Amino acid sequence: MAPDILLVEDNEHHVELTLRALGKLQLDRRVHVARDGLEALQFLFPESEVATDGRRLRLILLDLKMPRVSGLELLERIKNDERTSLIPVVILTSSQDARDMVEGYRRGANSYISKPTGFGKFTETVGLVAQYWLGVNEQPL
């Protein structure tokens, strides 16, 4: 089964929390995890045209501060490529720097969310994001 969600996150604890939150909605098996921006690029833009899972995504959850390729660089590549430009990208980050928010929206983010502290609030937030983008929002894909 092709994934619906690409989670781009380098913090293993945050990966685990996000998957647990999505598991409560029975969405955890429909997630592909990329642990940095370069891994996400390789997933989204495979060298082989046979591997096209990245082009059927319905949502990308993106951290900003990552090694090799930053979240903002990755966001710009996603939004500037016709194969991926329509996939909603939600920045889910620990950064509360207003410059990161402005730059994220400037580069095409569909939403910017500061990661809540505490498992309960984090789970609730991720659940609401998934329910909106996968359940309520209509996509042309």
pLDDT tens digits, one per residue of 26-53: 876 789 999 999 999 999 998 765 555 4
Q: Measure the CA–CA gap between 28 and 97, rounded to whole angstroms.
A: 29
Q: Measure the CA–CA gap between 16 and 22, rounded to whole angstroms.
A: 10
**What pLDDT score was predicted for residue 43?**
93
Q: What are the DSSP calls for 45-58, one per residue?
A: S-SSTT--GGGG-S
CATH 3.40.50.2300 holds for 5-135: yes
Q: What are the sequence ranges of the domains in the chain?
A: 5-135
Q: What are phi and psi of 86, to 5 degrees?
A: -90, -5
**What pLDDT score was predicted for residue 53?**
46
Q: Measure the CA–CA gap between 3 and 28, rounded to whole angstroms.
A: 9
Q: Report yes or no: 65 and 94 within 8 Å, Cβ to Cβ.
A: yes
Residue 47 or 58, more confident: 58
Measured in residues, the chain has a length of 141
